[in-house]
A = this chain, B = another copy of it.
Amino acid sequence: MPTRVERKNATRHAILQAALRLSAERGFSSLSLRGIAAEAGIAPTSFYRHFQDIDDLGLALVDEVGLSLRQLIREARRRVSARKNTGVTRASIETFMEFADSNATLFRLLLGEGAGSTAPFRRAIAKEIARFTDDLSDDLRSAAKESGKPLADVGLAAEAMVTIAFNLGAAAIDLPAEERRKVADRIIAEVRMVVRGAQAEAAAAR
């Protein structure tokens, strides 16, 4: 027997999922309250029991999406350290692409709304992506120590990598599986370039 608050949370979740599904098709900025309500299987006015308006929902959505993604990334990272036979770059990007696949809607939301929405919304998204970059910076630093190959400007390198992976990865979502593989290879090669460049700069600076 679900308790009362559980029920409420369930509906809230249903709304978020509905919004996510719809925004994958037409973009978040063209969502309608009624459309969401219909998709979530509730009456339009019930929406207000959970969110003040659609922008409010948007922020909640970014929160939840960011959370899920970071959990996925953490898990993925563990998997990467597990398969030591492949290169770290390849393993990371392949894992990344894997769940960019299975969580396409999340990515679309995070990357498809660069300008399609209100400023607060955009800022929230930017913050989520910045978190990724920070996490990656930490990883790069420890990897550099282990391998003995120092990197210059780790923060910048991380930003470049995240930008490349996210944006090219997002563009690949629509493509057929085979094409996506190719894109993954491109991303890997490009990320490697950044790594090499950062290493070269570190070497030159010494």
**A residues 108-161 in Cβ contact with B at 8 Å:** 108-109, 111-119, 122, 126, 153, 156-157, 159-160
* Contact of A61 with B by CB under 8 A: no
B115 and A24 within 8 A (CB): yes
Q: Assuming A29-B29, A164-B164, A195-B197, is B189 touching A153 (CB within 8 A)?
A: yes
CA distance A197 to B156 in the complex (A): 14
Provide the residues of chain B in CB contact with A111, threshold 8 Å: 114-115
Whether a CB of chain B sits under 8 angstroms from the CB of A200 is yes
Q: Give the A interface residue count (CB, 8 A).
A: 45
Q: Which residues of B contact A56 (CB under 8 A)?
A: none
A47 to chain B, nearest CB (A): 19
A171 part of interface (Cβ distance < 8 Å): yes
Residue of B nearest to A155 (CB): B186
Q: Kindly identify which residue among B117, B159, B174 contacts A186, using a CB–CB cutoff of 8 Å.
A: B159
Q: Give the CA-CA distance A113 to B195 in the complex, in Å.
A: 30
**Other-chain contact of A190, B29, B108, B126, B159 (Cβ < 8 Å):** B159
Query: A126 to nearest B CB, angstroms?
Result: 6
Contact with B along A84-119 (1 / 0, CB 8 A): 000000000000000000000000110111111111
Cβ < 8 Å to B, chain A residues 45-62? none
Is the pair A116, B159 in contact by a Cβ cutoff of 8 Å? no
A171 near B126 (CB under 8 angstroms)?
A: yes
**Residue A38 at the chain B interface, CB threshold 8 Å:** no
Contacts of A126 in B (CB 8 A): 171
- Do A122 and B174 touch (CB < 8 A)? yes
Residues of A that sit less than 8 Å from B by CB: 23-24, 26-30, 108-109, 111-119, 122, 126, 153, 156-157, 159-160, 163-164, 167-168, 170-171, 174, 186, 189-190, 192-201
Known: A114-B171, A126-B171, A196-B201; 4 extra A-B contacts, CB below 8 A, are: A27-B116, A160-B160, A192-B197, A193-B198
